[in-house]
Structure 1
């Protein structure tokens, strides 16, 4: 598991570098947007964009990890299709080629023959990432990789990645919007049980370095498997005044229902993965979402980290049913191996019942007791 963790973390760092590169090079960035349509369109947004950065990151992770772990090759899945349409109307299947030169040649087709941009990206795709993290050498958990599968969200909060600013001021540690909410999410789950096992959250836009003002990344990880829980994070302390983080477009009825519990501590932020990270970091005690607008690739990685910290992510609708039936512990958590029956496209993998992410059981129970009469 230490080897797989290192492989996934290295892939996440390479992914973060590609995300930074595409966002920082304005001439390149302007080329990298294609609107999603049809069944692949996220119903939550009027405009939901797929970027070449998304596709490249997804394919790089699949390539690098699949090469090192062939048994996972056919079980690494992501949000994006690897087909991209360039400005000339040509459809190109984006993939990592055997050599940097071949990858650059392929990317030129996507980038309307922009050679310099293609070579820049190809160099980032093929560069070797060497991690220097002594904590990773101490990981001694044996997990059979041949029974695992991987979910990738190459850039969560794509709208903020495209349009967000880097100078947004946090409110009590939580960024309400901006580049900080654009994350790389990787989750490993058990193919048969559907349980999340390993999670990685990489923040490509963690801070701007000086004096070059280039973005620096930061990663977090967690493992939860058969009673063993390890994480790069420590379990957050219980706060005196509990706080919940919500989407800015969350239903008014849910906001009003939670107001007596959280008072003035209703916080709002962009990006599902970022709000889950806020819970893992202890910046919020719960993330509640009443709609089915998140997906397995959003939640799998953060879910594993939260489990490693003693928490989890429950299916809100199913948990409310269980609560009403008198079941107040072991509430139904999200699982990751089964599509939604009758759904098509991205909706096959939606968390349709909504979610509650938490670290402490008492916070989960407080949310459930508050919402049970409101929904």
Structure 2
């Protein structure tokens, strides 16, 4: 395929994110179907912050669908498309089944029937969404730019978080904070995260974040909110032009488990703060200028949580930094995505993260956070 005929990677990722959102909504719309799809994660996969963690077939199916679609259009990227979930399920009969997207809808249906232990209608409905042609259009999407001809696709990798805030996705219970537009829990916290990074430098360069339940159209009927950004040496673009909430107020957002001494330091700097679920959701609040800072001091996020929002923030002049390294060195240390040969801990942002849209604010913030 010549460069003039090359599909636009950003457009492909946006359509993948919308297909993911369709799958998520299809699963969530039917309580019986949702109950079929939930499988508790194995001990090795579980997030240590939660007593119970879950993977759903929706998670795995979205991940494998994105890998299938991007790999088909950009085969040179196929081996570097990584996600949060293992594709292996154990069905109710105790059989081990690997979720895979087939060459046609009937193949995918057969695979899903094996996972769902014979629930043919559910398997068929999901396979229909997997193989549906999607072309997302929205007045908020903006103009999709042409990518540079010199872009080396063989040097690009992808991190996918198919459904971030899975617990919120399953429960659906919404709680509001004291700040308009920011929810503490609920479907609003659910995001699909697709981040592209350079394999040689580890720098994130393209990000797509979708909220499958971003716009409520009717009872149990939703459409997506879609955010994207590109930060390449020869191209910076995004669709994230938002006005700041209030220049006289500083707002930070945290996990409800954040350390009290860190919260106190933000109070000392004049920040107000909100608590909310979902790493992708909290980073998105920085992107949309509803908060100035998202900080997590614990190592409970992973590369799939941060790659997409970091790429968007870089396009906006912001970034996501390594909390522990930045405080220790009193300088900003951006997260990177260099792959390791062995072990699983390299996937973890082990010493926490700080996401900001205004990098200039980091000097004062780091000095305060580094106080003994």
| TM-score using structure 2 length | 0.93
**CA shift for structure 1 position 15:** 0.2
SS at match of 2:304: helix
Structure 2 residue 118 is the aligned partner of structure 1 residue 113? yes
Deviations 1:252-277 (A, max 9, x none): 121122211134x1111100110000
Q: Distance in 1 between matches of 2:315 and 2:299?
A: 25
**Shift in alpha-carbon separation, 1:335–1:138, aligned structure 2, 3 A:** closer
Aligned to 2:302: 295
Aligned to 1:371: 369
Q: Distance in 1 between matches of 2:89 and 2:348?
A: 23
Q: Distance in 1 between matches of 2:91 and 2:144?
A: 43
Decide which of 159, 164, 173 is 1:156's aligned counterpart: 164
Structure 2 residue 359 is the aligned partner of structure 1 residue 361? yes
Aligned to 1:79: 84
Checking the alignment, whether the CA contact within 8 Å between 2:190 and 2:213 is kept in structure 1 is yes
Checking the alignment, whether the CA contact within 8 Å between 1:2 and 1:139 is kept in structure 2 is no
Deviations 1:208-250 (A, max 9, x none): 213x641111110000011532101126547221110000111
Checking the alignment, whether the CA contact within 8 Å between 1:356 and 1:364 is kept in structure 2 is no
Aligned to 2:197: 189
Q: Give 5+ residue unaligned stretches, structure 1.
A: none
**Shift in alpha-carbon separation, 1:236–1:312, aligned structure 2, 3 A:** farther
Superposition pairs for residues 16-95 of structure 1, below 5 Å? 16-95=21-100
Higher mean alpha-carbon deviation, 304-313 vs 98-107, is at 98-107
Q: Distance in 1 between matches of 2:215 and 2:178?
A: 13
Aligned to 1:11: 16
Decide which of 138, 161, 178 is 2:186's aligned counterpart: 178
**CA shift for structure 1 position 65:** 0.8
Q: Distance in 2 between matches of 1:200 and 1:294?
A: 18
Aligned to 1:270: 277
Decide which of 79, 96, 99 is 2:101's aligned counterpart: 96
**CA shift for structure 1 position 184:** 0.2
**CA shift for structure 1 position 9:** 0.6
Checking the alignment, whether the CA contact within 8 Å between 2:253 and 2:275 is kept in structure 1 is yes
Structure 2 residue 226 is the aligned partner of structure 1 residue 225? no
Structure 2 residue 325 is the aligned partner of structure 1 residue 315? no
Q: Distance in 1 between matches of 2:107 and 2:42?
A: 30
Superposition pairs for residues 204-283 of structure 1, below 5 Å? 204-210=212-218, 213-226=220-233, 228-234=235-241, 236-237=243-244, 239-263=247-271, 265-283=272-290
Q: Distance in 2 between matches of 1:231 and 1:2?
A: 19
Checking the alignment, whether the CA contact within 8 Å between 2:286 and 2:356 is kept in structure 1 is yes
Q: Distance in 2 between matches of 1:170 and 1:284?
A: 13
Deviations 1:123-159 (A, max 9, x none): 0000000233684444443422111000000001111
Deviations 1:43-85 (A, max 9, x none): 1111111110000000000001110111111110000000011
Q: Distance in 2 between matches of 1:167 and 1:373?
A: 34
SS at match of 1:109: helix
| TM-score using structure 1 length | 0.92
Checking the alignment, whether the CA contact within 8 Å between 2:177 and 2:275 is kept in structure 1 is no
Higher mean alpha-carbon deviation, 12-21 vs 164-173, is at 164-173
Q: Give 5+ residue unaligned stretches, structure 2.
A: 1-5
Checking the alignment, whether the CA contact within 8 Å between 1:276 and 1:302 is kept in structure 2 is yes
**Shift in alpha-carbon separation, 1:92–1:4, aligned structure 2, 3 A:** same
